[in-house]
Structure 1
Amino acid sequence: MSFEVHVEGIEVPDDVRSRLTADDVAARLARKDATLWGPEAESEAAIRLGWLDLPTSSRSLVEQLAQLREQLQAEGLDRVVLCGMGGSSLAPEVICRTAGVPLVVLDTTDPGQVAAAMTDLERTVVVISSKSGGTVETDSQRRAFQAAFAEAGLDEGQVGARFVVVTDPDSPLSETAAAMGARAVFLADPTVGGRYSALTAFGLVPSALAGVDVGALLDDAEELAEQLAQPDNPAFELGLVLGAAAAQGRDKLALADTQRGSGIEGFGDWAEQLVAESTGKEGRGILPVVLESATAPGSAADDTLLALVGTDAPPAAPSLAVTGPLGAQFLGWEYATAVAGRVLGINPFDQPNVTESKENTSAILDAGLPDEQPLATIGAIEVRGSGGVLDGVDLSAHDGVALALDALLAAVPDRGYLAVMAYLDRLADASAADLRSALAARTARAVTFGWGPRFLHSTGQYHKGGPQAGAFLQVTGAIGTDLPVPERPFTFGGLQAAQAAGDRKALADRGRPLLHLHLTDRAAGIGQLLAALA
C-alpha cells in the first residue's frame, strides 16, 4: 500500500501553491535545505533535518536489534518496559499497538502507574530513552527500576544488564549508562529532533525488542522517501492542505484512526505531538484534536479540518484521508509538517516554550507546593480556579460542580479551545478520558485531552506558545500509596503534584481561564464529573 492523500472541500490558494512550487520547496526540503523557513530559523533547521535520511541511515540498527532481542529472549527476558517521554515514547507505542505486540510504556510520574510497571521483574528488560539525557521523569523511573531489581536480589552487574539505553551522543544519560553497566547503549542521530525521531533508535529499539519487524517500517518509509523531491508528491500536498486550511481559519486538526485498511492504532497521539509542538508558537499554530472516532463530538466544527488515517474515502467536506503503511505515515506527516511550517511562516523545529513548566516544576520542588485552599469541596471534588473562571459562580449550590464546568465552557473564547489535562493514572483512571467527548458534546469549540505530565512534552508547547485562546481543565487526584524516587529528595507523588502546579502557574501567568478539580477519591470523583456532564 502506498502513501496517498485524498482531500475533500479544501482548496489550496493558487498563490500559495505557485509560490511554493516556484521556490522548489519539495526538492529543497528533500535535500535538507535549512534556508526554507527564513534566516531566523536557519541555524536550528541546519541541525534538525536528519530525519529525511532515516529510511536508509537507520538500516544498520535492524540486525543489531534482532541479535539483541534473540539474546534477551534466550535469557527469559521477554517483557519490555519503555521509560520515556514525548518523542521517546509516542512512536514506539503506536508501532507496537499497530503490530499487536506488547510493550509497557511508562511515560508518567503517577506513583500508581509506576508501581504497576515494576512487576514481573524476573522477565523484564527496561529501555531508558531520553534525547537530552536529563528528563526528570525518565531519570526518576530509571532510579526506581534499579532499586527494584536490587531489592529482587540481582547484583550490580545483573542490574545493569537489565537496561538498554537510547540517548544522544555525549548526553548525561550516556555517561550514566556506562557507569551502571547497561547491557546496550544506542546513540541516536543528534540531527533529529525528538518529535521527528520515530524512525531513529528512539522508535526502533523498544519496538524491535518487543518483537516488531522494524525493517518493514523502514522499507515502507523508503518507498515514500524516493518521491519526496517531486513537486506533486503526496506528503507535499498534505503539508499544503494543512497550512492552507489553518491560514483559512481551520486551525484545529481533528485526527481519527479508522482502523480500516492500514490497521494503524493510536496514530493520533503521535501526530498530536508532531503538529502541536512544531506549529504552536509565536501566537499561531495548528491544534491537533485526537478523536475517539471519525464521528465523535468535535469532528465537524467550523474551525476544524477532519483528518482520517487508514481510509481513502474522506467523509463530508472539509476533510482529508491519508492511507499508507505506518513507516510511510511517519515520514509523510513529518515532511508535511515541515511544509505546513513554511506555509504558516513558522519554524517547525524549535520548541521555545517547553522548558517553562519544567523550570516551574524545579522551583516548586525546591520551595514546596503552593498553599492553594479549595473554594469548595463538593462530594469527592475540591474546586479551585484562576483567570476569573469562577467569578460569580455559586459553588454552594447543590450542582456546584456542574456550574463550575458550565462556567469553564462559557470561558472558551470564540474560535478557541478547551484543554483537559489529567494528572492521573492513564491505566487505572482510564475513564477520565471520557471527559473529552462529554465536554465536546456541550460546546461548539474544540476540546482536547492529555494525560499529565506526558502532554507537557507535546501539546504543552501549543498551550503556551500558540494562540492564547485556550481555557483549561486540570484534574489531579489523591494518591493512595506514594513511591520514593531513590536518592532524590522527592517522591513520585510529589513530583507529579509539582508538575501540575508548575503548569498551573504557566497558564495563570498568561491569565488563561483555568478550573482545577482535585479528586479526593479518584474513581468517585471521575464518576461525579461524568455525571455532572451527562
Structure 2
Amino acid sequence: MPYRQSLERCLDAAWLPQIVLDDHHAKAVKAAARLSAGIKAGDFPMLGLARERGDLAAMEPVAEHLLKDTSDLIIIGTGGSSLGAQALAQLTGWGTPGHDGRGLKGEDGPRFHFPDNLDAGTFEQLLTKLDLRSTRFLVISKSGGTAETLMQMLAAMSAIEKAGGGKYMKYHFAVLTEPPRPGTENPLRAIAEAREFPILDHHPDVGGRFSVLSTVGLLPAYLMGLDIGAVRAGAAAVIEDLELNKKAAPVMGAALISAQAAFQKTDVHVLWPYSDRLARFGLWFRQLWGESLGKERRGTLPAFSLGPVDQHSQLQLYLEGPRDKAFTIITTEAKSQGPEVLPELAREAGLDLFAGRRIGDLVDAEQRATIETLARNGCPVREIAISKLDETSLGALFAHFMIETILTGFIWDVDPFSQPAVEEGKVLAREYLARMGA
C-alpha cells in the first residue's frame, strides 16, 4: 500500500475500548461489502474509474488546444470542480511559497491559476495583470449551470471582447461539462457549442466532490505534466485492498470514526497533514466530508490544520479546549530532507541542537511529538504515514478518504451523495441577483 495507517493511539482503554471498535468494525465490514459489490456492478463510477484508462486519451486534443502558445492557464470551477485538481497541482509545488505557478514543464509551460472562490477584486486583478492574448481558460461545471463559474467565464469573455480579441475567442477556451440530457438545460454547453469551444464530457454519474479521479481532476493534472495513470493506480490499490481485506485502512477508519462519534462524542474531525503540498488536499477533504455526511442532524465538523504552523496556532485549543475532537495526522518522510544548518553557525548562536541538522529533521521531530502530545493528553489520534508523496500515494489518499466517507455514510444511514441543503442558497442568490437593477 502507498501509505500506512496506525490506530494504536485511539485504542487506549481510557479513550475507546476495543470492544466498542469491534462492534463498529462489524458495521463497517457490512458497509464495505455493499460498496465493493456496487463498484463491481458499476454503481459507484467515482471509484470504478480508478481501473479505467480508455477515457484518458480524449483529454489529449483538449490539452493540446489549451497549451498552444499559452503563458497562463486559468482553471475556472468551484468546490469539487476545482479542489481535487488543486490538490494534485500541489505535487508540483504549485501554491507553495517561492513557486512560480508552473507545472513540471517549468519555463516551457504556462502558469496555472485556480480562482475557485468568487471574489470581484481577485478576478479583476487576474484579468488585468495577465496578457489576455496568451491566456487560456478551462471551464469546469458538471451541470453547466454553476452561477459562479458562468459569471467568471462570461467576465473573461467580456474582457477578451473589450480588448479586441473577440474573433479569436474559440482559441482561448475549453469546457468540461456533462453530455446533453433530454429536458435539462446546460448553459455552459450551449455557450461552448455556439462559440465552437472544445468540449470534454464530464462523467454524468460522478458528482463534483467525488470527481477527482475523473477528467475533472486529471485534465488539469495532465496539463501540469503529472502522471495521471499513477494517480489512478494508487487509488486502485486501495480499492483492491478493500475488496480483499476486512481490515483495510478505510474500513478500519470508518469503524473508528463511527465508534468515536458514538462512544467519545467527538463532534470535530481534524485532518492535520505535515506538508505544504497537502494543504489543498485538506480543503478537498473538508468539502468531501462536510457535504457528504452533514445531513439529518448527523455528521462531524471537518476541520483542517497544517504542519508545524498549527502547533502554534491551534494546539493549545486542541489540548485544553473542549474534548470533542478526533485527529488524523498525515505524516511524510521528512528526516534528512531540506536545507542544512552549518554547524559553526548554529554553535555561534548557541544552538548546538541545530548543528548539522536539516529542516526536515525538525519537521520529523515535531510531527512525532505532536502525535505523542495529543495521545498523552487523552486526545484520540491516528496516523497516516506516507513514505513518498507522489501521484501514486496521493491517488491512494483520495480513494481512502472517499471510501471512508461513503462507508461512514452507510453506517450512519445517510446518503453521502446528495446535498439538498446547498440548493436553497443557490436559488436565493439567483433571486437576489435578478432583483438588482441592470
Deviation at 1:152, TM superposition (A): 2.8
The residue aligned with 2:305 is: 291
Distance of 1:47 and 1:284 partners within structure 2: 28
Deviation at 1:66, TM superposition (A): 4.6
Distance 1:66 1:264, change over 3 A: farther
Could you give the per-residue CA deviations for residues 265-303 of structure 1, whole angstroms, max 9, x where no partner exists?
A: 321100000000011111111111112445241444410
Residues 114-153 of structure 1 aligned to structure 2 (within 5 Å) = 114-118=123-127, 119-153=130-164
Deviation at 1:33, TM superposition (A): 7.1
Deviation at 1:226, TM superposition (A): 1.6
The residue aligned with 1:9 is: 10
Correspondence for 2:384 among 322, 325, 335: 322
Deviation at 1:124, TM superposition (A): 1.5
Correspondence for 1:94 among 87, 97, 122: 87
Deviation at 1:123, TM superposition (A): 2.2
Distance of 1:216 and 1:347 partners within structure 2: 30
Secondary structure at 1:174 match in 2: helix
CA RMSD of aligned residues (A): 2.5
Number of residue pairs aligned between Structure 1 and Structure 2: 351
The residue aligned with 2:165 is: 154
Could you give the per-residue CA deviations for residues 204-245 of structure 1, whole angstroms, max 9, x where no partner exists?
A: 122222333322211211222221213111111112222222
Secondary structure at 1:32 match in 2: helix
Aligned amino acid, residue 303 of structure 1: D
The residue aligned with 2:412 is: 344
Could you give the per-residue CA deviations for residues 141-182 of structure 1, whole angstroms, max 9, x where no partner exists?
A: 1101111222233243x2122111111122432232111111
Correspondence for 2:217 among 187, 193, 203: 203
What is the TM-score normalised by the length of structure 2? Answer: 0.74
Deviation at 1:347, TM superposition (A): 1.4
The residue aligned with 1:302 is: 323
Residues 60-71 of structure 1 aligned to structure 2 (within 5 Å) = 60-66=54-60, 68-70=62-64
The residue aligned with 2:200 is: 186
Q: Would the aligned equivalents of 2:261 and 2:267 in 1 still touch at CA under 8 Å?
A: yes
Distance 1:151 1:292, change over 3 A: same
Q: Would the aligned equivalents of 1:127 and 1:166 in 2 still touch at CA under 8 Å?
A: yes
Deviation at 1:47, TM superposition (A): 9.4
Correspondence for 1:259 among 268, 275, 283: 275
Q: Would the aligned equivalents of 2:133 and 2:165 in 1 still touch at CA under 8 Å?
A: no
Q: Would the aligned equivalents of 1:2 and 1:323 in 2 still touch at CA under 8 Å?
A: no
Distance of 1:47 and 1:174 partners within structure 2: 26
> Any stretches of 5+ residues in structure 2 without a counterpart?
95-100, 102-111, 181-185, 334-367, 387-392
Secondary structure at 2:138 match in 1: strand
Deviation at 1:64, TM superposition (A): 4.0
Q: Which has the higher helix share?
A: 2
Q: Which has the higher strand share?
A: 1
The residue aligned with 2:430 is: 362
Q: Would the aligned equivalents of 1:80 and 1:210 in 2 still touch at CA under 8 Å?
A: no
Q: Would the aligned equivalents of 2:293 and 2:299 in 1 still touch at CA under 8 Å?
A: yes
The residue aligned with 1:238 is: 253
Aligned amino acid, residue 150 of structure 1: E
Which structure has the higher relative contact order (CA within 8 Å, separation 6+)?
Answer: 2
Q: Would the aligned equivalents of 1:168 and 1:189 in 2 still touch at CA under 8 Å?
A: yes
> Any stretches of 5+ residues in structure 1 without a counterpart?
35-45, 369-488, 491-534
Secondary structure at 2:279 match in 1: coil
Could you give the per-residue CA deviations for residues 44-65 of structure 1, whole angstroms, max 9, x where no partner exists?
A: xx997211211123x2344443
User: Are positions 1:32 and 2:38 aligned together?
Assistant: yes
Secondary structure at 1:202 match in 2: helix
Distance 1:83 1:48, change over 3 A: farther
Deviation at 1:87, TM superposition (A): 0.3
